[in-house]
Structure 1
Amino acid sequence: MLRDDQWAKMEPYCLGKRSDPGRSGGDNRLFVEAVLWKARTGSQWRDLPQEFGEWNTIYKRFNYWAKRGVFERMFEAVSDEPDMEYAMIDATIVPVHRHGHGAKGGLEIRPSAPRRAAGPPRSWH
């Protein structure tokens, strides 16, 4: 999970801090750790461990923060941290089947028995 020095760099960018007007978020650190857990595991939101809270609430909050660019600002704040590399995912490290790259080949359908020479299929009789 997050170290205290990493969290100290990220915390000022969180929405819903005590110093912000209006409703404040619950535990921002726990929420960010839930998002990082999701990114590390690649699991669905529904599989989020209950210790992080209700998955749907966390998902809605994640969407809200993402639309407002919070995670981009947090990433910029900790981008000098080599320990945060585990949270980065891009196409260079995600394996794709060769057909996903546009390679030729693929499934060839071969008849298992020779076709009948003439006439409609038997099911038409």
Structure 2
Amino acid sequence: MAGFDLTDLEREVIRPLLPTKVRGVKRVDDRRVLNGIFWRLRTGAPWADIPARYGPFTACVNRFSRWRKAGHWARILQAVSEAYDGKVQMIDPSSIRLHQHGANPEKGGRSRCMGRARGGLTAKIHAVVDARGRPIRLNLTEGQAHDGRSGDDMVGPIGAGRILLAGQGARANIRPIPTRKRFPPFDPVLCRARNQIERFFGKLKHFRFIATRYDKRDGNFLASVQLASIRIWLRRYVSVN
């Protein structure tokens, strides 16, 4: 078994979450196809370069696309992340450079979550993680977008009593800017724990297809981020068994 492949324990965790309704011809083995998709995510290779041991690459690309359109990747991530630690949650973005193959949006079309920033053409992955650095919510914006633009949407579902928003009965813990006249309450010990979200982005960028964006379409790239996040969760599940 290659290092990219699902282990037996990982497969058992994700198997009940996979779609069960099959119309027409019986679909190709889920584990083999998922392993091919994860191989591409980890290596950053084109679809056509997926090794023959994972079957025809068309099976991988078709499965990825169909399940993205049906919302299955987002649904599976939501299901595996239900075990998150809700006492402390952290939000932050990370910029992703666009490869030249993905940096040509259609003429007259929307931006597809790519924009000019200091480092060139980039996109931003916004993430909310729990106290252990496990992803809970994800979003994608243009590279030059202000972080607050995505923040409102991402923290909206968070309940009261958690360290994030005063408006929801919680409290924020944000390092104050020295030039401010009024300083909000700040806990430096708690702030040091926020390296968990940096560790999450570090793990996410181990997947080379995430570290550099090759996709023109924002929906495809976000689905890839969701898949990589699912794999991060699966490894956490396995590590505690």
Partner of 2:51: 49
**Rg comparison, structure with higher value:** 1
TM-score (norm 1): 0.57
Match of residue 37 from structure 1: 39
**Cα distance in 2 between the residues matched to 1:99 and 1:73:** 33
Alignment length (residue pairs):
90
Report the alpha carbon displacement of residue 2 of structure 1 after superposing the two structures with TM. Answer: 1.4
Q: CA deviation at 1:13?
A: 2.5
**8 Å contact kept, 2:97–2:121:** no
- Given that 2:97 and 2:120 are in contact with CA atoms closer than 8 Å, whether structure 1 keeps it comes out as no
- Answer 1 or 2: which has greater strand percent: 2
For the residue of structure 2 that corresponds to 1:100, the secondary structure is strand
Q: Are 2:40 and 2:46, in contact at CA under 8 Å, matched by a contact in 1?
A: yes
Unaligned runs of 5+ in 2: 84-92, 99-117, 123-142, 144-241
2:168 counterpart residue number: none
Question: Does the CA-based 8 Å contact 1:65-1:71 persist in structure 2?
Answer: yes
Q: 1:36 to 1:24 in 2, by over 3 A?
A: same
Call closer, same or farther: CA 1:93–1:51 in 2, change over 3 Å: farther
Give me the whole-angstrom Cα distance separating, in 2, the residues matched to 1:10 and 1:77: 9
Query: Residue 120 of structure 2 aligns with which residue?
Result: 99
Runs of 4 or more above 6 Å deviation: none
Q: How far does residue 34 in structure 1 lie from its aligned partner after superposition?
A: 1.1
| Code of the aligned partner of 2:121 | G
CA distance in 1, matches of 2:81, 2:37: 17
The share of aligned pairs that are identical, in percent, is 26
Higher helix residue share: 1
